[in-house]
């Protein structure tokens, strides 16, 4: 995803850093294979009514099944959270206990035993499903799960490791349209009487419009953080299909013209990533104007963008590229744990720059990477101890920082430099294919990298992913033709094999002369022509590496 303020102001959102998300350990004792959610949403109340069928297998022998679901707060002023009223294992009623953000269903299972846990529940979501008026004052409902806010209203094993297929059956007033992951199976208006008798849970008020049942099914295993539905008065349009992939836009009717013009860029972007990475992993791609708290949220095949992303002037192109890149990186090849977030965000950041470079040229890429470095530098000045892959993640929202995004993106740019673009893309494709519909850690990526490089890239990966310091070049000149340069801010193991330098000569100050050297903490001699203008010497002008400003040492 993208934090909203990065796009509006180019500044870090400290507000988001202060938001905290509860962290709970991954429940490894079960493996959920499929979620089927049936949810009723209403106009007259923010209470939702849900039935969840959770298809799961016990990984260990367990005495009860534990899932994440925020329980009822019991706060009379602000009563939120979910209350379970019924639980069954296959067809047998069972007892359960809710405590805090978990539910324990009292069913013992032998290792390898599978079945369906059904939970009937209701409540007002505290988060994870944003029920609010949109900017035009119309009521809307939007899932917004990252990182583990989905379990505020859905019973989930809410961790990126436990991927599953999903179905959303949404009963909503018939004035709305409903969008979700996967394919639309059916959308049918229900007779009001029929809907009232089909379940005594439904409680439609006389003021509600006749409900309509929308059924969506996602046939691919995805993380819970990117399972969603959205309910609003949408104007929909189809964009140019890419092969068999259909693309659509879902925007507020007031923004229909400009919104569809803006979001239609998705076709060209999807086509670009298919050509450079791999066939699109899902069946369709929807672009949805929404109330997400982020600038954009990469929900699988169903991207939610912030409300003001519909400029119609191309101003959201990089945002759209970022979220589409996530369909491969994050949604399909996912991180094993939160601390490896750069495998999602660093990839989406780099591949946005890569797209801009191929479409608009080198200067667009340099501008993008310079801005990335500037954000990283500003953040690093305030939080000097942060690293890309931290030991622990006490606050998941705090991971949404320029180390995960911009520095992670720079790490991929440096791999492109070291491997060359063709081999780099071959490596990226191999990484994607190896971990598609599965999970990877940073170590998994580094291990795979070893078979793609003749050079040991461990020092580069270790330095940039696990240390906060950004090295810089220190150089001096003996005479106008002899320069000596070395790296500072790192140890002797780091060797950057192709650092570009640029200068002009006194006769011809217009045309830059270019060369490159391999550099480490050991001094390296660079021989320039005698008539080189030392004052014009610049380093890393092709943004091959993440380096701090070069320092000219004058003895």
**Strand bridging mode 48-58 / 114-124:** antiparallel
For residue 146, the minimal CB distance to Zn ion (Å) is 9
Closer CB to Zn ion, residue 229 or residue 342? 342
| CA separation for the pair 387, 404 (Å, rounded) | 8
Closer CB to Zn ion, residue 29 or residue 290? 290
Q: CA-CA distances (angstroms) from residue 33 to 57, 117, 154, 159, 333?
A: 8, 12, 15, 13, 17
* Residue with tokens 């013009």, as numbered in its chain: 261
For residue 369, the minimal CB distance to Zn ion (Å) is 17
Q: CA-CA distances (angstroms) from residue 415 to 59, 340, 392, 440?
A: 38, 17, 26, 18
For residue 382, the minimal CB distance to Zn ion (Å) is 22
Closer CB to Zn ion, residue 109 or residue 399? 399
| CA separation for the pair 421, 145 (Å, rounded) | 35
Give the DSSP per-residue string, 436-462: TTEEE-HHHHHHHHHTT-SS--HHHHH
Interface characters, 347-386, with Zn ion (x: CB under 5 A)? -x--------------------------------------
CB distance 280 to 274 below 8 Å: yes
Q: Binding to Zn ion (CB under 5 A): which residues in 293-352?
A: 345, 348
For residue 509, the minimal CB distance to Zn ion (Å) is 43
For residue 331, the minimal CB distance to Zn ion (Å) is 10
For residue 303, the minimal CB distance to Zn ion (Å) is 10
Q: Binding to Zn ion (CB under 5 A): which residues in 205-264?
A: none
For residue 445, the minimal CB distance to Zn ion (Å) is 17
Residue environment code for 468-479, b if the CB has 16+ CB neighbours within 10 A, otherwise e: eebbbbbbebee
Total residues at interface with Zn ion (CB under 5 A): 3
Nearest to 151 by CA among 54, 216, 285: 54
Closer CB to Zn ion, residue 251 or residue 348? 348
Nearest to 449 by CA among 477, 421, 475, 415: 415
Closer CB to Zn ion, residue 227 or residue 348? 348
For residue 311, the minimal CB distance to Zn ion (Å) is 20
- Residue 145 token pair: 């799960």
Q: Say whether residue 69 binds Zn ion (CB under 5 A).
A: no
How would you class 420 by CB atoms within 10 Å of its CB: exposed for 0-12, middle for 13-18, buried for 19 or more?
exposed
| CA separation for the pair 344, 404 (Å, rounded) | 8
CB distance 552 to 485 below 8 Å: no
| CA separation for the pair 297, 7 (Å, rounded) | 13
Q: Which residues pair with 552 in a beta bridge?
A: 475
Closer CB to Zn ion, residue 350 or residue 501? 350
Nearest to 406 by CA among 379, 428, 375, 383: 375
Closer CB to Zn ion, residue 51 or residue 401? 401
Closer CB to Zn ion, residue 325 or residue 487? 325
For residue 2, the minimal CB distance to Zn ion (Å) is 5
For residue 342, the minimal CB distance to Zn ion (Å) is 11
Nearest to 163 by CA among 223, 116, 219: 223
Q: Binding to Zn ion (CB under 5 A): which residues in 1-60?
A: 1
Closer CB to Zn ion, residue 2 or residue 528? 2
Closer CB to Zn ion, residue 35 or residue 342? 342
Q: Which residues bind Zn ion (CB under 5 A)?
A: 1, 345, 348
């Amino acid at each position: 995803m993208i934090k909203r303020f990065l796009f509006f102001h180019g500044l870090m959102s400290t507000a988001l850093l202060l938001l905290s998300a509860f962290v709970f350990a991954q429940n490894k004792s079960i493996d959920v294979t499929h979620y089927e959610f049936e949810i009723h949403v209403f106009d007259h109340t923010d209470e939702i009514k849900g039935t969840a069928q959770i298809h799961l297998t016990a990984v260990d022998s367990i005495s009860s099944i534990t899932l994440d679901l925020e329980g009822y707060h019991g706060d009379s002023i602000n009563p939120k959270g979910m209350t379970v009223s019924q639980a069954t294992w296959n067809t047998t009623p069972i007892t359960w206990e809710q405590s805090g953000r978990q539910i324990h269903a009292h069913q013992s299972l032998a290792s390898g035993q599978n079945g369906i846990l059904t939970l009937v529940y209701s409540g007002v979501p505290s988060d994870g499903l944003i029920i609010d008026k949109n900017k035009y004052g119309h009521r809307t409902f939007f899932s917004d799960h990252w990182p583990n806010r989905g379990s505020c209203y859905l019973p989930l094993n809410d961790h990126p490791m436990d991927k599953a297929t999903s179905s959303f059956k949404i009963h909503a007033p018939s004035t709305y349209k409903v969008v979700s992951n996967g394919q639309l199976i059916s959308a049918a208006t229900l007779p009001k009487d029929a809907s009232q008798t089909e379940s005594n849970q439904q409680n439609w008020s006389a003021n509600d419009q006749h409900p309509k049942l929308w059924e969506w099914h996602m046939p691919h295993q995805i993380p819970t953080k990117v399972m969603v539905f959205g309910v609003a008065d949408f104007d929909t349009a189809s964009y140019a299909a890419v092969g068999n992939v259909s693309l659509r836009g879902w925007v507020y009717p007031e923004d229909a013209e400009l919104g569809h013009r803006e979001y239609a860029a998705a076709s060209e972007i999807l086509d670009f990533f298919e050509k450079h990475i791999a066939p699109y992993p899902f069946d369709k791609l929807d672009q949805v104007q929404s109330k997400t708290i982020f600038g954009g949220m990469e929900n699988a095949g169903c991207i939610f963008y912030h409300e003001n992303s519909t400029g119609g002037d191309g101003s959201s192109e990089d945002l759209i590229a970022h979220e589409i890149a996530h369909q491969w990186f994050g949604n399909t090849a996912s991180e094993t744990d939160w601390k490896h977030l750069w495998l999602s965000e660093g990839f989406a950041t780099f591949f946005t720059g890569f797209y801009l470079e191929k479409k608009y040229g080198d200067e667009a890429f340099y501008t993008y990477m310079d801005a990335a470095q500037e954000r990283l530098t500003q953040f690093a000045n305030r939080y000097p101890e942060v690293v890309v892959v931290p030991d622990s993640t006490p606050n998941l929202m705090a991971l949404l920082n320029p180390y995960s995004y911009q520095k992670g993106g720079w790490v991929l740019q440096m791999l492109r430099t070291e491997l060359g673009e063709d081999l780099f893309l071959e490596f990226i494709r191999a990484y994607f294919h190896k971990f598609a519909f599965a999970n990877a850690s940073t170590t998994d990526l580094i291990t795979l990298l070893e078979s793609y490089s003749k050079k040991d890239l461990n020092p580069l990966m270790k330095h940039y992913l696990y240390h906060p310091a950004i090295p810089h070049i220190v150089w001096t000149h003996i005479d106008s033709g002899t320069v000596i340069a070395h790296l500072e801010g790192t140890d002797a193991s780091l060797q950057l094999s192709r650092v570009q330098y640029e200068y002009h000569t006194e006769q011809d100050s217009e045309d830059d002369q270019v060369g490159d050297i391999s550099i480490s903490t050991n001094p390296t001699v660079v021989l320039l022509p005698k008539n080189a203008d030392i004052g014009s010497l610049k380093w890393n002008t092709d943004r091959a590496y993440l380096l701090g400003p070069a320092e000219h040492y004058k003895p």
